[in-house]
């Protein structure tokens, strides 16, 4: 008997080494670390007998053909990580479908449709203030204006993609025909405590929360920290601190809302000078779109008011937005039956995080399989899913592919 979960663990450990130095995994899109991960995934795809290509959005596509004229089932997730993240978020959802296909091949199972395993380049939105590039390209919803967005080093997304030997001008041509696609299934660690609390290896996702990201830039005046009087200062960081506190209050006091200031940059960022410019990002998530949209409007109004009261210039913009997305009932039913056949309860749960599946829903029906993660930890080096649980997930994926049509 082949231990498929152990195989997954070995491959994920190898992929975790494709990282910048430091704790955990840091693998940003269109970097040397990204390229190294693609080489490992390509080798595994070739071993599976898949035809492999890299599209112009940076998505690695491994295809198993079906009978002539058949439709295609898409499976996959993203390869990128947050800074000092874990070895499972995203990338596990690429590895497990590959191994599920290997398992079906070892059982001499032939499918009546084509299968593609997708490794998207950028879901996290860490390097550039945008996300879901590859999935939006396939869905036909990619916004070309994002190609001018810059990372902290001033490199545009277009420049980064070209340096990766991609042709971003051709991204719009990647859009798929919905008539050719059965659906998209994404496998992901839960990133929460529910499955562990219920002693379940896997669960089926009911819906993906909506998410939006805001960028706020406050500009004041700098001066010597010892000689500039406190009264009349135009301290951009003091204004930013008010906004940070308000974001925290919104998240605590609004039902079904998560609100986070995740990034701050300060200029001139020295010990003896008043901060002149502060740039901060605010991320708002909710399974209820009306809550999310109202929170974004309230945020901009509050920030504008704070800036006016302190004599600061301000720029507010929405850099990313994704609606809440329910999962497809039919695909979820097939997935649930496959999970129950492997001993799982009928455990369903929503996703508090967004995923590539939320963008793929503009193309086709989507479903998601969650895998238990230890202590509900994610986006940290301690992130962990056991080989045993991944083995169950591979069995479920194989069962899903046997049953879906």
**Per residue in 84-119, pLDDT tens?**
999 999 999 999 999 999 999 999 999 999 999 999
Residue 178 has which token pair? 């919905």
* Count of residues in the chain: 405
Per-residue tokens: 320: 């990313």
- Give the H or E element holding residue 249: helix 236-253
CA atoms within 13 A on the CB side of 51: 7
- Predicted confidence band at 54 (pLDDT cuts at 50, 70, 90)? very high
pLDDT at 323 over 90: no
**Digit-coded pLDDT (tens) for 186-235:** 999 999 999 999 999 999 999 898 889 999 999 999 999 999 999 999 99
Q: Residue ranges of the domains in the chain?
A: 4-209+324-403, 211-322
Q: Mean pLDDT for the chain?
A: 96
What are the angstrom distances between the C-alpha of 93 and each of 69, 169, 297, 391?
Answer: 27, 28, 34, 13
**DSSP label of 92:** H
Picking from 215, 219, 222, 192, the residue whose alpha carbon sits closest to that of residue 383 is 192
pLDDT reported for residue 73: 98
Round to whole Å and give the CA distance between 96 and 394.
Answer: 6
Whether residue 376 has pLDDT greater than 90? yes
Poorest-confidence range of 262-271, 342-351, 363-372, 394-403? 342-351
Lowest-pLDDT choice from 40-54, 220-234, 336-350: 336-350
Helices 236-253, 289-310: crossing angle, 10 deg rounding? 150
Please say whether the beta carbons of 90 and 132 come within 8 A.
no
SS3 10: helix
Mean pLDDT to the nearest integer, 116-139: 96
What string of H, E and C letters represents the secondary structure of 291-335?
A: HHHHHHHHHHHHHHHHHHHHCCEEEEEEEEEECCEECCHHHHHHH
- The Cα 388–Cα 213 span in angstroms is 36
pLDDT band for 350, please (50, 70, 90 cuts).
Answer: confident
Mind listing the pLDDT tens digit for each residue in 250-280? 999 998 899 999 999 999 999 999 999 999 9
Please name the residues in contact with 109: beta carbons below 8 A apart, sequence gap of 6 or more. Answer: 398, 402
DSSP percent split of the chain into helix, strand, coil, nearest 5: 40, 25, 40
The model's confidence at residue 53, banded by pLDDT at 50, 70 and 90, is: very high
What pLDDT does 361 receive? 96
How far, in Å, CA of 86 to CA of 377, rounded? 9
Dihedral angle of Cα 382, 383, 386, 387, to the nearest 10 degrees: -100
Q: Residues of the chain with pLDDT > 70: what percent?
A: 100
**Where does 79-155 show beta strands of DSSP type E?**
114-120
Fold of 211-322: Alpha-Beta Plaits (3.30.70)
Please tell me the predicted confidence (pLDDT) of residue 352. Answer: 84
Q: In the prediction, which pLDDT does 171 show?
A: 98
Cis peptide before 268 (omega within 30 of 0): yes
pLDDT at site 322: 79
Element (H, E) at 188: strand 181-189
* 37 and 77 Cβ atoms separated by less than 8 Å: no
Cβ atoms of 189 and 368 closer than 8 Å: no
Task: Give pLDDT tens digits for 159-173.
Answer: 999 999 999 999 999
Render pLDDT for 272-322 as a digit per residue (tens, 0 to 9): 999 999 999 999 998 889 999 999 999 999 999 999 999 999 999 999 887
pLDDT at 199 (0 to 100) = 96
Rounded CA separation 63/115 (Å):
6
* List of residues 6+ apart from 197 with CB closer than 8 A: none
Q: 116: which strand partners?
A: 63, 74
Q: Has residue 82 got a pLDDT over 90?
A: yes
- Residues 28, 126: contact at Cβ < 8 Å? yes
Question: Distance (Å, rounded) from C-alpha 92 to C-alpha 117?
Answer: 12
Q: Which two tokens stand for residue 54?
A: 């890299």
Is the domain 4-209+324-403 a CATH 3.40.630.10 member? Answer: yes
Residue of 122, 138, 117, 94 lying closest to 31 (CA atoms): 122
What's the predicted TM-score (pTM) here? Answer: 0.80
CB 106 within 8 A of CB 99: no
244: Cα separation from own chain's centroid: 24
The tokens describing 81, both together, are 């990580």
pLDDT of residue 1: 85
Distance CA 104, CA 106 (A): 5
């Amino acid at each position: 008997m082949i231990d498929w979960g152990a195989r997954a663990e070995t491959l994920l450990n190898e992929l975790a080494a494709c990282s910048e130095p430091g704790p955990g995994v840091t693998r940003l899109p269109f970097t040397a670390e990204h390229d190294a991960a693609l080489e490992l995934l390509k080798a595994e795809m070739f071993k599976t007998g898949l035809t492999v290509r890299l599209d112009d959005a940076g998505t690695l596509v491994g295809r198993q053909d079906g009978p002539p004229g058949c439709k295609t089932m898409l499976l996959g997730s993203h390869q990128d990580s947050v800074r000092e993240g874990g070895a499972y978020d995203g990338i596990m959802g690429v590895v497990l479908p590959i191994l599920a296909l290997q398992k079906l091949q070892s059982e001499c199972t032939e499918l009546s449709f084509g299968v593609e395993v997708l490794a998207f380049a950028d879901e996290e939105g860490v390097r550039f203030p945008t996300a879901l590039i590859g999935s939006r390209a396939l869905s036909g919803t990619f916004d070309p204006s994002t190609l001018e967005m810059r990372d902290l080093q001033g490199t545009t997304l277009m420049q980064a993609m070209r340096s990766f030997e991609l042709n971003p001008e051709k991204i719009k041509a990647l859009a798929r025909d919905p008539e050719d696609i059965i659906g998209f299934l994404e496998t992901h660690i839960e990133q929460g405590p529910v499955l562990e609390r219920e002693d379940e290896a896997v669960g089926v996702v009911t819906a993906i929360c909506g998410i939006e990201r805001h960028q706020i830039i406050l500009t004041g005046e700098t001066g010597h920290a010892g000689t500039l009087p406190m009264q009349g200062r135009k301290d951009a960081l003091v204004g930013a601190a008010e906004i940070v506190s308000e974001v925290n209050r919104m998240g605590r006091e609004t039902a079904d809302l998560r609100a986070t200031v995740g990034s701050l940059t300060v200029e001139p960022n020295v010990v003896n000078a008043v901060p002149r410019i502060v740039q901060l990002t605010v991320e708002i998530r909710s399974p209820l779109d009306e809550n999310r949209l109202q929170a974004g409007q309230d945020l901009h109004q509050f920030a504008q008011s704070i800036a006016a009261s302190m004599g600061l210039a301000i720029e507010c913009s929405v850099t990313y937005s994704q609606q809440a997305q329910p999962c497809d009932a039919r695909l979820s039913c097939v997935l649930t039956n496959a999970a129950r056949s492997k001993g799982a309860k009928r455990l369903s749960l929503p996703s508090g995080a967004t995923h590539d599946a939320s963008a793929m829903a503009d193309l086709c029906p989507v479903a998601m399989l969650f895998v238990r993660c230890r202590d509900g930890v994610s986006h940290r080096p301690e992130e962990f899913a056991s080989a045993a649980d991944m083995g169950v997930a591979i069995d479920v994926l194989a069962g899903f592919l046997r049953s879906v049509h």
